[in-house]
């Protein structure tokens, strides 16, 4: 049985302890993350960057939701004011949590991960 508690696409969490030592799978692009999701039996949380090579976060999210409709998702992105407004609009349209890079509210971000990562399966 292949499981991932936390899947990160294009966004890397440098300290696994943030998520309570949970199982973290990290991918540099959305395409590889999507291929991994297709092999999973369950997934607790997806953290994805918006802009990535091969597949953007807003392309990855619907594909993950096809397989895991109730999985909590966090979208992260940075850039100028226009880019941030666009990213926030995308997060709103996709009904996902949004964090601006660089993440300045580290404790809130860690709490978001801790709230979802140890929970039971999300199918």
Q: Is residue 108 part of a domain?
A: yes
CATH of the domain at 64: 3.40.50.2300
Residue 32 phi, psi dihedral angles, 5° rounding: -65, -40
Q: Is residue 50 part of a domain?
A: yes
Q: Is residue 111 part of a domain?
A: yes
pLDDT per position in the chain (123 positions), as tens?
555 667 777 766 654 445 455 677 888 899 999 999 998 888 888 999 999 999 999 999 999 999 999 999 999 999 999 999 999 999 999 999 999 988 888 888 878 777 776 554 443
Q: Is residue 98 part of a domain?
A: yes
> Pick from 26, 30, 85, 79: which is nearest to 53 by CA?
30
pTM over 0.75: yes
Q: Which two tokens stand for residue 68?
A: 């895991």
Q: Is residue 121 part of a domain?
A: no
Question: Looking at residue 120, what is its pLDDT?
Answer: 43
Domain that holds residue 98: 3-116
* Structural domain count of the chain: 1
Question: Looking at residue 15, what is its pLDDT?
Answer: 46
Q: Is residue 84 part of a domain?
A: yes
Residue 8 phi, psi dihedral angles, 5° rounding: -115, 125
Q: Is residue 112 part of a domain?
A: yes
Q: Is residue 10 part of a domain?
A: yes
Question: Looking at residue 84, what is its pLDDT?
Answer: 93
DSSP label of 121: P
> Pick from 77, 70, 68, 120: which is nearest to 101 by CA?
77
């Amino acid at each position: 049985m292949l499981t991932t508690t936390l899947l990160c696409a294009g966004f890397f969490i440098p300290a696994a302890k943030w998520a309570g030592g949970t199982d973290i799978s990290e991918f540099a692009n959305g395409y590889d993350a999507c291929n991994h999701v297709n092999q999973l039996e369950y997934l607790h949380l997806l953290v994805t960057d918006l802009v990535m090579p091969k597949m953007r976060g807003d392309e990855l999210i619907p594909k993950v939701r096809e397989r895991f409709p109730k999985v909590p998702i966090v979208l992260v992105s940075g850039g100028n004011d226009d880019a941030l407004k666009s990213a926030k609009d995308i997060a709103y349209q996709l009904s996902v949590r949004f964090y601006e890079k660089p993440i300045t509210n580290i404790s809130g971000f860690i709490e978001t991960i801790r709230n979802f990562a140890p929970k039971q399966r999300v199918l």
